[in-house]
Every structure is written in C-alpha cells, then in structure tokens.
Structure 1
Amino acid sequence: MAQPRSSNLHLVMFPWFAVGHMTPFLHLSNKLAEEGHRISFLLPNKAKLQLQHLNLHPNLITFHPLIIPHVEGLPPGAETASDVAGNQVSPLATAMDLTRPQVEEIIRDDPRPDFVLYDSAHWIPEITSKLGIKAICYNVVSAASLAIAIVPARKITRDRPITADELARPPPGYPSANVIIHRHEAHKLLFITLEFGAGITFYERINAAMRSCDAIAIRTCRELEGELCDYLSAQFKKPMFLTGPVLPEPAESRLEDRWAEWLGRFEPSSVVFCAFGSQFILEKDQFQELLLGFESTGFPFLVAVKPPAGCSTVEEAFPEGFEMRVKGRGVVHGGWVQQPLILNHGSVGCFVSHCGFGSMWESLKSASQIVLVPQLGDQILNTRLMAGELKLAVEVEREDNGWVSKESLCKAIQSVMDEDSEMGCMVKKNHAAWRNRLVSQDFMSGYIDSFIKDLKGL
C-alpha cells in the first residue's frame, strides 16, 4: 500500500454555505489540527468573519475566502443560507457551483492536498480525480436522514419524481422499523425533489456527491447509527468513515448574567428549556398553542424561539393574559441564547427541542430529559432515532394535520419530569447511559484517531 507523502496530512474543507454545515466542518478541522494535520478551509468571505473565533489553530487552519458571484434570484450581498429565504436557497447553490474555478485553483496550489472533504459540491471528484487527490463526501446530517431519502434504491429521476406516499415507504433493504417517516408527514421530505442549483435537484446533487467520491464520511458514531451506516455503505458501494459527533470542548465563556440569575432562582432540574434552532419560524397560532402548553405544565420555563410568522417580536404574539399569568416563572425570548451553557445549568431539567442534528448531540451530552417536536424531514428522522430506536427521549404527539396541541406538549413534558413516571424513568436511564459514553475521555478522541487511520488507509 502506498504511504502518505508525510505522516501529517493536508486536507481541504469545502462545506455548503450554511452555518450549520460550516461549523461542524470547522470543529472537525480543529480536531485534526490538534493532531498536527494542516487544513485549507474554503468559505464565503462573510462567513470568514463569523467563524474566525472558532478557529482554534490558526497556525494550521488557513481560511481561503471565496468571492460569491451574484446570480439571478439571490439578494445583493447574500453569501450564506442565513442571508436568504427558503425559496432563494437554489440560487445560492448555483452561486456555489460558480465558485468552481476559484476552488480548483486553490486545490491545484502546491503543495497539493491529500484529501478534499465536501458535502454539496458534487463536482469536487471531477477535479480531484485528475490530480490524484482523494475526495471524501463528509455529511454533517444523520445517517438516518440520508438512508431514508437519498439512496440509489429510491431510483428518483426527473422523469419519475417520487410522491409523498412513496417516501413514507422505506427503500428496499432499509434496516430500521422505527426510524421512519409516517405517511401524514412524508410531504416534509419532498424538498429532495426541488431544484437545488441550476438544472439539478437536491436528491440528484447529494446522490451524485456520495456516488462519485472515494469514501463517504458521516458525523456520527457506530453505537448510534451503525446499521444505517452499513446500509449506506452497501447502497453506494463506498467505504464508510465515521468521525463521531465531533463536539467542541465546553465553552470557556460564562452564561449571560440575566440567564444565570433567572435560572438560579429555581430548584435543581425543575426548569423546562425550549429552543427550535435559528432557522425555523412557527405560525402564530401554533406559537400561541405551544406557549399555552408550557404554561399548563406548572413548571418554570425558558423558551427561545424566533418571532412567529408576521410578527416582529415574540411579545406581540403572546396569548391574551399570558404574560401576567406566567410572570416570575416563564420567559419567552425571541433572540439567540447560549444553548449549551443553558443546557448545562443545574436548574434545567427538560429540553424541548426540534432535534436538529447539532441540538441532538447537545441534548445527548446534557443531563436534561429530552422532549422532541421535529419540524422538518431530517429532524423527524433524528427524533425517531432518539425516541423510537434508542428510547431516550419522548416525541410530542401530533394530529394528522401536523398540529401540536397544548395538551400533547404538556403531557410529553410531564411524562419525563414526573419522577414516578414509568416513561420518565426509562428515558432517563437510557439517556444517562448514552451521556456517560459520550463524555468518557476516550470516546470522541478514539473516533478521530480511527478517522485519521481510515484516511491514511485510502
């Protein structure tokens, strides 16, 4: 077997232009740099300013800012998914594709890299194969979401677009009876059939990215998604490398005084904390129903969600009399909060989450009970993994039209917060076992060591 040019590797990272993708790529870069490997990190110029503080090894991790061309349908100055509305993501993908000459020039620079890690830029292998460089398709979403939606067994083409009913049926050979999409929610996966860049759908792009690489890598671990990873490896006939969750070290920053002071008023493990991520916006009526659900639990609560559709603040959407009724025990905040630090506060006993992949790992690492209200396709599958397969969380029941009632939310929270509840005891025990595994000293470092070994083995 040919030996690497040196014991230390040079890797190029080229993630999709969204903070939720760039940040995990940078966390992995930090872990690799800790071992002495060199990283060239390609990203939009604006994102460089946003992410610079997360670069823990600037002597080994070099940012290469890209000029993002303007394309029709893209707002002026837009460079990342945070700058665009949902219907403008496709033009952003077109803009990313148009950076190809810049990307190719950086990859060709001497000394050439050993590997290029990418996720959405399906054309990277066309560049690397000519240069004798290995291309790794690195996915920062769960194996569950890829295995149910993107695999070749789906046989989705332009001439044969898939229906919601078909998506609700697992593809041939799919290994789980629990990590599934229910029929009434399958429409939330139909985004894979939409255009994602000029002349290409989301399914076509991600399927091609995984089909043309030298190896597939996923930010997950075998203990969590082993069978799903094996299924993907068999479907694409590619080696499968797992990096583990690649969670950053605990933040050295302190929790903001206002939250530390407010949380400090309550008994240990008594507060319900809710966050639904930085992207999702609730409809006003659903927002109000959820607040009434938190109120009816009787527990103190801190809710951090964006203002609902059509509202500039959360306060203007409060149910009538809500603010007075919950005064002193309930806070609703419409801005960003330090989620990991809040989760680690001793007063927080329950985390109500949308189960985005990053929040999923943060909830696993915390000591809080977990209640899940997924909103989008991949979040639904992450939720089924947590609640259906691993039984360490509770999913809030929805009506067939997707509505979450205040009664359902209250019931789910009380089921995990009640010390005498059979459900609460079971998920708490299962979660504790997982948390102990995640925080053990050698768990994450072992995965990084194995990942480096796998790379060198290529």
Structure 2
Amino acid sequence: MAPVDVETEKSITLPPPHFVLVPLMGQGHTTPMADLACLIVGRGARVSLVTTPVNAARLRGLAAMARSALLPLEIVELPFPPADDGLPRGSNDNSDNVLQLFLSLYRLAGPLEAYVRSLPWRPSCIISDSCNPWTVGVARSVGIPRLTFTGPSCFYSLCDFNVAKHGLLHNGGVVPGMPVQVELSKDTWAAAFLTCMPAWGKFVEEVREGIRMADGAVVNTFLGLEEQFVACYEAALGKPVWALGPFFLNSRDEEARAVDQSAVIAWLDMMDQSTVVYVCFGSLAQMLPKQLYEVGYGLEDSGKPFLWVVKESEIVLPEAQEWLQALEARTAGQGLIVRGWAPQLAILSHRAVGGFMTHCGWNSLLESVAHGVPVITWPHFGDQFLNEWLAVHVLGVGVPVMPFGNDKAMVRGHIARAVSELMGGGAVAEERRIKCKEYKERAHGAIAKGGSSHENLTLLLHSFMWSGSKE
C-alpha cells in the first residue's frame, strides 16, 4: 500500500476551524459578538457562542436562523455554579451592580474549561470580550490561542493603551502617542478611563492585562474609517489586529430591510427625505426626569421633525408620563415618541432620517456612519467621550450637544442648537453629510468580496485553519 501524505490525510479527516466566542453578558456586547459569529460561520467555520441560560433565551432567533440555514453555529449555555444564575440584582445604571456583574462572571471559568475539554477536537481559538479577562486562564489551561474582542472603537483602545503605558490615568489634557491631537478635560478624562470609579481599578487593570496577553485582537471597525488607529494599535500591542467590521452589515442589515410594516417605519414613510433627527441614547444610559424634559423641550424648540426613543424605566413616575403625553399632543405634527424598543438599523437606513442624536456608544456610532447618517453627540460614560472626539474632531461627522470641556448642565437650548446645526443648510453641514456618505460607501466596500474586512476575515480563518486533537 502506498504511504498516505500527512497533509492530505489532515485535509480529509480534520474538522473545519472551530471558534469559541465568549461575549460579555450585556446587549451592547453580545449583539456584535453574535454578528461576528454569523460572519465566521458564513465562511465555513464552526462557532460555539457561549452564554448563560438567561442570555441564551435572547439568542433564540440567532439559533433558529442557524438551524434553518444549516450553519454550524451553536448556542452553549454555561450555568453558574450553583444552578442559580447568581447574578446581582438591581438597576442597570448602578456602577457597583455592573462591577459585581462583571466579577460574578469569573465563576464561568470552570464551566467553560469543562466544555472545551469535553469536545472531541480542541477548538482552534477562543475569542473573548475584553471585559472577560477570566478567559486568560482557561485558554492557557487548555492550550489554545485566545483573541480579545474590544468593543469600543480602535481609536479609544489606542488612547487607553497609551494613557496606561505612560501612567497618566488621572491626568487630563493631551493623550500621548496618538497620530492626531486628542485633548480632554480632567473630569472627562476620569470618566473616559474609569478612574472616577476607584472600585473598578483592579478589574480595569485585569482587562488591560488580558488584552496585552492575548494572541491578537478582533475589532468591529473597518480600515476606511480607522486605518491609522488600527495600524498604531497593532504596533503598540505587537500582535495582529483584525478589523472585520462593520459586523452588522453582513447579518442584521437584512433584518433592517425586513422591518417595513411597523408603525415607526410607516411614520417615517410619510416624512420628506433626510428631514428627521433620530434620538436614542442606548440601552444603559438612564435619563433623570429633569434631563428628559430638557431633551423634549429642545427637540420641540428646534422645529425639526424628530423620532425619539424613550425607555420605559425613564417614565415610571406619573408626572413624567403626563409630561410626555402633553409633549406628544403639542408635537403631533412634528415628532414621534417611541416607548421602549425601536428597530434602530431600519430607522438609520430609512431615507427620511438625516441625523442621529446618540450617546456615542461604539455600536450606535458605527451603525450611523455606516448608513451615512451624521450625528449629534452626547456621551454619558466610558469610551463614549473619546468616540465623540473621534466623530467630531477626526472624522468630521458630528456636532456636540455641549462644547468640549464645558461642564454646565445640558439645557434645551443646547439641544435645539445642535439639531439646527446638524440638520440645517450651509457649507459646513453639507460637508459633514458628504463625509458621512463617503464612509457609508467605504463600509459597504470593506465587507464586499475583496474589501479590507472581507480579506482580513480570510486571513484570520487561515491563521487558525486546523483544530488540534483533544489530547
């Protein structure tokens, strides 16, 4: 019998690459990781998306889609020891509760390692959210590579790396080592790098160490938007940084086109092109009644059409509900107020939407830019302050609600001015819209076959082509 070539035998018997994705349990982190999972399985690799039983329920739609399309994507539930999920109870916007949630997830290390060791073939790679530094020990114990998924912009990640490297976490002023000028007030600096919350110090340093120890980074961005920052971040880490985004253009953009019968879309269909400002501040930021009123009055005073998403938790007080109903009555011909959830991608892709007032979470900012919609920026915490700087001063697609460095309370006049400035005419506003349209074209070009994100995914998959044996 003729000898069998080893490489030929491998190509016949070994399974495709297998990626274990470990998102942070939170909508803003889980959603892009789910989009990344769709990207990877769409190219022929296998993905296990691990989560807790509570969060697995939110991913049923993704699991059903994978089954119907016969895609090798599975949702793996890792129960907390003991059987109860063990998560702290309380308000989402309480920083102590959020920290306790992050720390409680360390208890998933044992179940994750047990899952990996139970597989017939060792996975090719773990991709874990940077806020899951406990996966460092799991990857080392089972002997497989680990990539970190950094949820913020690459611009923010580079700023954070340089500030930590130079020991300037409490300074304020100019961020060192950046290819562009970046300058924050002392208060904004503390909020951006979380030094305003001392209890977070040890955890944040573990996150930074986990990023430094990873075999590389996956980022939800594209070179046509952040090329210089991706290159600088890769050089700083000394590891590959794969820019694969925007993730959602390969998966949830179809979802956006499917949402065409809702009351929101029906209302937008009646509006003129590029006249509506969409207002939404993400899933975590909570408006106090006083802030809520100022936003509403500001939108009303702007005279521009608006679509405003208000959280149910923001209007639990009877007086807030009464105020909102009165505002709806006064602005019936001008605005639409949505309580709870709204189909954001469908809204941003609608022809009537010409601007987006956002908290500057990276998911929302990227979704807006990739749909060619300029933004009004109002950051609340963390990376959002630097994302604002990126949008306004670097990309030139944003108008701030508050002047940089101004710590006065936001009032309706700031809202009305920012809306008028973004949605108005003039050379500056038109240049902002032109830039956004260019970034939209670049985003779609990046994910197309031959585009930078498409090719980067090919390189990533080739880097982890073979799964290892169980032993």
- TM (norm. structure 2) is 0.84
Query: Quick one: distance in 2 between partners of 1:80 and 1:62?
Result: 28
User: Partner of 2:44 in structure 1?
Assistant: 36
Q: 1:143 and 1:317, CA in 2 relative to 1: closer, same or farther beyond 3 A?
A: farther
| Further displaced range: 15-24 or 35-44 | 15-24
1:93: Cα distance to partner? Answer: 1.9
Q: How does 1:26-425 map to 2 (within 5 A)?
A: 26-55=34-63, 56-58=65-67, 59-69=71-81, 78=87, 85-108=94-117, 109-119=119-129, 120-151=131-162, 153-154=164-165, 162-163=169-170, 166-170=171-175, 172-178=176-182, 180-191=183-194, 194-196=198-200, 201-247=202-248, 248=251, 249-251=253-255, 252-306=257-311, 311-312=316-317, 315-316=320-321, 318=323, 322-398=327-403, 400-419=406-425, 421-425=426-430
Query: Quick one: distance in 1 between partners of 2:319 and 2:226?
Result: 37
Q: 1:386 and 1:117, CA in 2 relative to 1: closer, same or farther beyond 3 A?
A: same
Any unmatched runs of 5+ in structure 2?
A: 1-5, 465-471
User: Partner of 2:28 in structure 1?
Assistant: 20
Q: 1:151 and 1:42, CA in 2 relative to 1: closer, same or farther beyond 3 A?
A: farther
Which structure is higher in RCO with an 8 Å CA cutoff and minimum separation 6?
2
Q: 1:116 and 1:286, CA in 2 relative to 1: closer, same or farther beyond 3 A?
A: same
- What amino acid is aligned across from residue 392 of structure 1 in structure 2? V
1:411: Cα distance to partner? Answer: 1.9
1:173: Cα distance to partner? Answer: 1.7
**SS of the counterpart of 1:394?**
strand
1:76: Cα distance to partner? Answer: 7.3
CA contact (8 A) 2:218 2:243 kept: yes
Identity value in percent? 21
CA contact (8 A) 1:149 1:167 kept: no
Query: Quick one: distance in 1 between partners of 2:107 and 2:338?
Result: 39
User: Partner of 2:468 in structure 1?
Assistant: none
Size of the aligned set, in residue pairs, is 442
**SS of the counterpart of 1:116?**
strand
1:348: Cα distance to partner? Answer: 2.1
Q: 1:264 and 1:217, CA in 2 relative to 1: closer, same or farther beyond 3 A?
A: closer
1:443: Cα distance to partner? Answer: 6.7
- What amino acid is aligned across from residue 111 of structure 1 in structure 2? W
Query: Quick one: distance in 2 between partners of 1:301 and 1:10?
Result: 45
Instruction: Map Cα deviations across residues 84-120 of structure 1 (whole Å, 9 max, x no partner).
Output: 8432122222221111111111122221101001122
| Further displaced range: 227-236 or 359-368 | 227-236
- What amino acid is aligned across from residue 114 of structure 1 in structure 2? S
CA contact (8 A) 1:355 1:372 kept: yes
| Further displaced range: 136-145 or 226-235 | 226-235
- What amino acid is aligned across from residue 407 of structure 1 in structure 2? G
1:310: Cα distance to partner? Answer: 7.7
- Name the structure with the higher helix share: 2
Query: Quick one: distance in 1 between partners of 2:164 and 2:285?
Result: 30
1:208: Cα distance to partner? Answer: 1.3
**SS of the counterpart of 2:284?**
coil
**SS of the counterpart of 1:238?**
coil
CA contact (8 A) 2:154 2:226 kept: yes
- What amino acid is aligned across from residue 412 of structure 2 in structure 1? K
Query: Quick one: distance in 1 between partners of 2:224 and 2:304?
Result: 34
**SS of the counterpart of 2:146?**
strand
- What amino acid is aligned across from residue 436 of structure 1 in structure 2? E
Instruction: Map Cα deviations across residues 36-92 of structure 1 (whole Å, 9 max, x no partner).
Output: 100111101111110121244244011110112479xxx976489986843212222
| Further displaced range: 291-300 or 228-237 | 228-237
CA contact (8 A) 2:260 2:266 kept: no
| Further displaced range: 200-209 or 138-147 | 200-209
| Further displaced range: 180-189 or 408-417 | 180-189
CA contact (8 A) 1:288 1:317 kept: no
Query: Quick one: distance in 2 between partners of 1:330 and 1:125?
Result: 49
CA contact (8 A) 2:27 2:283 kept: no
Q: 1:429 and 1:81, CA in 2 relative to 1: closer, same or farther beyond 3 A?
A: farther
Q: 1:86 and 1:225, CA in 2 relative to 1: closer, same or farther beyond 3 A?
A: same
| Further displaced range: 34-43 or 130-139 | 130-139
| Further displaced range: 59-68 or 32-41 | 59-68
1:127: Cα distance to partner? Answer: 3.0
CA contact (8 A) 1:15 1:42 kept: yes
Query: Quick one: distance in 2 between partners of 1:336 and 1:314?
Result: 22
Cα root mean square deviation, aligned: 3.1
1:278: Cα distance to partner? Answer: 1.4
- What amino acid is aligned across from residue 24 of structure 2 in structure 1? W
Q: 1:9 and 1:295, CA in 2 relative to 1: closer, same or farther beyond 3 A?
A: same
Instruction: Map Cα deviations across residues 130-161 of structure 1 (whole Å, 9 max, x no partner).
Output: 443111111122112222224574465xxxx9
- What amino acid is aligned across from residue 62 of structure 2 in structure 1? L
- What amino acid is aligned across from residue 183 of structure 1 in structure 2? K
- What amino acid is aligned across from residue 142 of structure 1 in structure 2? S
Query: Quick one: distance in 2 between partners of 1:328 and 1:11?
Result: 50
- What amino acid is aligned across from residue 98 of structure 2 in structure 1? V
Query: Quick one: distance in 2 between partners of 1:261 and 1:387?
Result: 32
Query: Quick one: distance in 1 between partners of 2:384 and 2:147?
Result: 24
